[in-house]
A = this chain, B = another copy of it.
Amino acid sequence: MPDDQTDPVAAMMAADEASRALGIDVVEHGPGWARARMTVRPDMVNGHELAHGGLIFTLADTAFACACNSWGPLTVAAGAEISFLAPARLGDVLDADARARTRAGRTGIYDVTVRRGDQVIAEFRGRSSELRT
C-alpha cells in the first residue's frame, strides 16, 4: 500500500480505532475498490452462536468506506442495505470486496460482497455522500 501521506485510505484506516479493535484488515485497495478481512472471534458471536450480523455489516462498511474514500475527497456513508444469505461462525475468515457501482455528483453506490471462501455470506449496498469542502 502507499504510505499515509499520499493515500487517503491508509490515512483513514490509521485513525480507525473501531476497525482495529475488531481486527479488520484492509488487505488490498485501489481507486473505487477495497478488500477487507475479519476473523470471527469469540467476542463476535451472538445469542444464536453465530457471528453477530452487526459485525458482518461493520466489516462490509469498512470495505465500503475504503472504496468510497479512495478517490480523495472526504466521503461518508449516507446509508446501506444488507441481505444476510448464510450464517458465519466462530473462527470463520470473512472477506469483504467493495466496488464502486455508480457515481453521480456527490453521491455514490457501492456493492460489497462478504464471503467465506467461495460462499457468499452477505450482500451489502452502500450509498456514499461526498462532503462539501
- Chain B residues with CB under 8 A of A77: 53, 84
- Does A43 contact B61, Cβ atoms closer than 8 Å? no
23-64 of chain A: CB within 8 A of chain B? 42-55, 57-62
**Main SS of chain A's interface residues?**
mixed
Cα distance, A77 to B20, chains bound together (Å)? 26
- Does B81 contact A16, Cβ atoms closer than 8 Å? no
Tally A residues with Cβ within 8 Å of B. Answer: 56
- Chain B residues with CB under 8 A of A44: 17-18, 21
Q: Write the nearest CB–CB distance from A122 to chain B, whole angstroms.
A: 9
Q: Write the nearest CB–CB distance from A88 to chain B, whole angstroms.
A: 12
Scan A61-85; emit 1 where CB is below 8 A from any B CB, else 0: 1100100000000101111111111
- Does A46 contact B107, Cβ atoms closer than 8 Å? no
Cα distance, A55 to B59, chains bound together (Å)? 10
- Does B13 contact A79, Cβ atoms closer than 8 Å? no
Cα distance, A54 to B76, chains bound together (Å)? 12
Please report A residues at the B interface, Cβ cutoff 8 Å.
11-21, 42-55, 57-62, 65, 74, 76-87, 101-102, 104, 107, 109, 111, 113, 120, 123, 125, 127
